[in-house]
Structure formats: C-alpha cells, structure tokens
Structure 1
Amino acid sequence: MPSHHLTQRIVAVKPIPVPAPGRSVDLQVKVTAPLSGRSLPVIVFSHGNAWSMDGYEPLVDRWAAAGFVVVQPTHLDSRRNGITWDDPRFATIWRVRIADLHAVLDGLGDILAQAGDLETRVDRDRVAVVGHSWGAQTAGALLGARVLDADGIPGEDFSHSAVSAGALIAATGSGDTLTPFAVEHLPFMRPDYSTMTAPTLVIAGGRDQSQLSTRGPEWFTDAYHLSPSPKSLLGIAEGEHTLGGLAGEMVAETTDEDPARVALVADAISAYLHDAFKLDDAAWTALDNAAAAGDGTWDITSK
C-alpha cells in the first residue's frame, strides 16, 4: 500500500462538466489524483449539506496521496446555488444527489479523459463511494440502502453496478426518532439499511449529537448495526459531527478541530478500501491491531 505521508505529489483538475439532463444547475466535478501510478482505484465522494467540490481537501488530498483518484461533484444543495430549506426544489434534492453520483459513475471515462491521462491509469473494477453526513446517506443509496416512505415501505433500489465498496461518515440513522424540523424538511432521512450489502466502513463520532434526531450519538451507528455483513465500524469516542474538521481547516461548523482525527478518518478509509478491493490488507490489519491495543479513543468492530 502506498505510504500515507504526503510527499506523493497530487494534482487537482476542476471544473469538469458532467452531462445531467433535467438538472436545474449544471453538474460539475473536481478530480484529484496522484501524479504517478497506474491501476489506481477510484473514490466518488458526496459532500455534506451546503458544501461543494471545493470542500474536504484534508480527506481528499490524503486519499490521492495514498493512490486513489477522487471525484467530487457539487450537489444542488451547495451554498453556491442558493437553494434554501424553503425552496420547492429542496424536497427532491436527495434524489438529485443520488442521480449526481450515477451521472458521475456512468460518465466516469469521459470525466477521467478530461482530467489528463487518468482514463488509462485507473482500475475501473475498483470503484468506491464515500460520503459525509447527508453525503453518507447519498453514498449509502448506491451501496444498496433504500429510503422508507411514510408507511415504512422501502423505496426504489439506487445501487450502482460499478460500485463494489464504500465508507459512510456520520451517516443518518433510522427515521423513527426524527425531530419535528427533520420530519418537516428532511422526511427522506428514513434509511433502510437492510439491503445495503456492499462491504462498507461506517464511521461514527461518540459525541455527535444530531439536531435531526432525538437519539444520541449511537444514531450514527445504525448503518453498521442494521445492515448485513461484511461491514466495519470505526467509533471515535470524542468525535463530533465534523470528526476533527473533515471539510477543511478552520471551517466555521467544525466543533472538534483535530487534524489527527481527520488523518485517522482518511487513513482508515484508505486502508479499508485497499483491503476490500483485495489490493493490500496490511494497513487495515495494522489499524485493527492498533485499535485493539489502544487507549479507547477509537475502536473498530467488524462483522
């Protein structure tokens, strides 16, 4: 597995347009990749609410340095699009987000061709989806999770055949404890993880108290507990919703600034995906051992 110190030079190309018919705003992505290397695995990353392709550099740059090509779409809910909670489009943005990831995966060859020579340097058989917060629910849909309607009936299957593994960071839990605000504005936050069969790493902070659920931080572990194996859960005891500042340094919404925590999240995902893709299991095994021998600040459970 490539080393994780950031001496590996990386390059980012943006904006790259992606065909997305019927979308009210053009879909654009950013691609970040190592300057060298072949047969590179791919991560398609879905940002949290209001962010864009320009966020999450601490994660993305670290993944690229570890040998991944990372593709980041800007979803409709990005602040730069000015779509508020009260906008009539907001109610369907969750579906547009999922469609964005499908458009990226369906158009991956063209996206990579526009980012230099990457089309010839990636391994199209090793593609993962990763997301944070709302992005984690979006990514989860491509891994096989569904959304329950008001009657508790699972909605359509949004999984994508190109995706073989993933990671969900601070993912929405089950929808039976939503706050009144969430019920009104985010009724789609009723995930059904029983059909999420793909190998997935779930990452949850032990101090992540959501404004959307009346349950405590364990709400964010549902994606692990309610889905079939193979799954792993990385619990970070002191982690809050941004897990140290995933979206960037000194970002206003970060409540638990900790660069080492961000590095742990990034490296755990790299290690997990290298293992899930059967490229190299050494880093994941080492992380598992470190968790078992550690001081309890973070732990790993698998099934």
Structure 2
Amino acid sequence: MAAAPGDTSAAAPGAYPVGVRILAFDRGPGRPLPTTVWYPAGPSAGHPGTGTVARDAEVAAGRFPLVIFSHGLQSRPEDHVQMTTRWAAAGFVVIAPAYPYTRKNAPGYTRNDLVNQPADAWAVVTGVSRLDGTPGDLFAGHLDTSDVVAAGHSGGAYTAAAMFTRGHSARLRGAIVIAGARPRFEFGGPPAAMLFIHGDADPTVPYSTGRSVYARVPWDKGFLTLHGLNHGSYLSPGRAGFNEVMTSTTDFLRWRLDGDKHARCAPGPLRSAFGPDKSLCG
C-alpha cells in the first residue's frame, strides 16, 4: 500500500535533499507492514531545504544509520512527515511501517495489538537492513546497519520503548519516546540511552505516566518537559515546542548513531534533558 505522493512530502531543511520510497514487508499473511522510508538523497533530488521530497531518488553518497519510527493509534507514517523528513535531511534513514491493526482506517482496528508491534518494527528493520547487501537495490551500499534508534509517538512510543526488553539486539542504541504510555514489560538487555519528551498538560497520556515509565529505565536517560503543552501539537512546525523537539531529537540521533559527543554536550534541550555528564563531556 503506497501513501499518496502528497502525503510523503514536507519542507525538510538540512544538509541533504530527501528521498522517499514505499516498501512492502510483512510478518506473515495476517500482518502486512507497508513501510515508508525517508532517506538522504543525492543532488538529482534537488537542493536541501527546498521543501520537496523526491520519490525513489538516488541515495546520497555514503552510508547512513537507521531510525525505526512508529506511529500512534489511529495514525499513519505520513502524519509525521514534518519530523521524519527533517531527520532524513540531517543524514538518517527513517523507516516507518504502517501497523496492520492500529493505523488509521485499519480493518479490525484494536489497540490491543500494540503488544505485537515491537516484533513488527524489528522485522522491518531487518528487512530494510538486508537491502544494503542486495545487488541493484537503491539502498545497496548506503545503509549503516550497525546501530539503530527506535522512536515513536503515543502508541508508537509504547512500541519503541517495548523493543528494549531482555534479549533485544545490541544494535538498538537508543529510543525517543514521545508522549508514551505505560509499558506492560520490564526493560532489559544491553543498555541503551532513552530520551523522553512529554507535555505536562497532555490530556491523552498523563504527564505522570510518562514520568513513571522514565523512572523504570535502568540506563542513561533524559526527560524533556514541554511546559503547558498537550499530546502532540508540538509536532507541527510553527507551534510551541516544535523547535525544541526537533533540536533535541536530531542531536540525540547524532549522539547515538554518529557518535557526536558535541551534540550531547553542547548547551541546548538535549543537554538539559539528560543533565551534565562529566565522564562524557569533560
């Protein structure tokens, strides 16, 4: 199932123009996972920051790390294009499956299927990763598959966080949990840094819920409070909190996937969320 071209485009200022492709994955006959992938594109896709997204454009020179992004209940990957394209423009391959029973207009919609989505997300990461070694594929030789960050909003934040149970792959290097609900699992496995973002006036997922999940994380963690903001208005350009969300999340990706200590240590919302770290920042 391909999203309409207009649904996968957005202004995405950054170092790269942005390409998009639609891939068909599944985890068995009852779990189709049509997936939108935004990625750094080459010069033929246009100039960075022009506001266009080129379908099936050539990939920019180099290898780019992976971000698996999960949408919320009754949402779709393309509903988050203002964020995902900005991450792609910053140099990341953003993989966004449409989940079979929680996406908008899903036949047989049920929120209870959230528990199955962490396995779906990893299956899609695995499928995209294989394309790096597939001769002739658009992504061949362009994917850095060694480290992955999981991100999501609302129900998708649950999905992202729930990927970090005992036995999870050491490739999972971090999570971005935006307005996430209480998980029905225990964190475990290899340590991974986690950034939580939550509005303290959220009427859908209470702020206290986000804080309680944060408290259970046994690893390096940070919490960015968006004062006076609700469940997701801050994900739209021009709205209060959007710049803080984009700056903190992009810096988090640069830190966890590019090894950029400056992105973690420089003054800004990410450093504020995690606090000072003398062992890392000197």
Match of 2:91, SS state, is: coil
Task: Give a deviation string over 1:108-153, Cα, whole Å, max 9, x none.
Answer: 2345669953231121112111111111111111122xxxxxxxxx
The answer to whether the Cα contact below 8 Å between 1:205 and 1:243 also exists between their aligned partners in 2 is no
The one of the two structures with greater contact order (alpha-carbon pairs below 8 A, sep at least 6) is 1
Name which of 170, 184, 196 aligns with 2:179. 170
The alignment yields a C-alpha RMSD, in angstroms, of 2.9
Gaps of 5+ in 1: 145-156, 174-188, 250-257, 294-298
Q: Label 1:161 to 1:22 Cα distance change in 2 as closer, same or farther (>3 A).
A: farther
Picking from 256, 272, 276, the partner of 2:256 is: 276
Q: Kindly tell me: are residues 81 and 266 of structure 1, through their superposed partners in 2, closer, same or farther at Cα, counting changes over 3 Å?
A: same
Q: State the AA in 1 paired with 2:232.
A: T
* Structure 1 runs of 4+ with >6 Å offset: none
Going from structure 1 to structure 2, the CA distance change for 1:69 and 1:111 (only over 3 Å counts) comes to same
> Aligned runs of 1:1-303 on 2, under 5 Å?
5-6=13-14, 8-14=16-22, 16-24=23-31, 26-35=32-41, 36-76=60-100, 77-85=102-110, 90-91=111-112, 93-110=113-130, 117-144=138-165, 157=166, 159-173=168-182, 189-193=183-187, 197-210=191-204, 216-244=206-234, 246=235, 258-259=238-239, 261-286=241-266, 289-291=267-269, 299-302=272-275
SS at match of 1:142: coil
Residue 231 of structure 1 deviates from its aligned partner by 1.0
How many residues were matched structurally? 245
Counterpart secondary structure, 1:128: strand
TM-score by length of 1: 0.71
Relative to structure 1, is the Cα distance of residues 207 and 41 closer, same or farther in structure 2, using a 3 angstrom cutoff? same
Match for residue 150 of structure 1?
A: none
**Contact (CA 8 Å) 1:199, 1:230: kept in 2 or not?**
yes
Distance 1:194 1:222, change over 3 A: farther
Deviation of 1:166 after TM superposition, in Å, equals 1.6
Taking a change above 3 Å as real, the CA distance of residues 132 and 208 of structure 1, as seen in their structure-2 partners, is: same
Structure 2 gaps of 5+ residues are: 1-11, 42-59, 278-282
Q: Which amino acid aligns with 1:237?
A: H
**Structure 1 counterpart of 2:33, one-letter code:** L
Q: CA deviation at 1:243?
A: 4.5
Partners of 2:164 and 2:187 within 8 A in 1:
no
Judge conservation of contact 1:63–1:267 (CA < 8 Å) in 2: no
Cα deviation for residue 282 of structure 1 reads: 2.0
- In structure 2, relative to structure 1, the CA distance for the partners of 1:13 and 1:227 (3 Å cut) is same
Counterpart residue type for residue 300 of structure 1: A
Larger mean CA deviation between 93-102 and 124-133 belongs to 93-102
CA offsets 1:21-55 (integer angstroms, 9 cap, x no match)? 1425x211011001124121110101011112222
Partners of 1:22 and 1:190 in 2: CA distance = 26
Normalised TM-score (structure 2): 0.76
Deviation at 1:162, TM superposition (A): 3.0
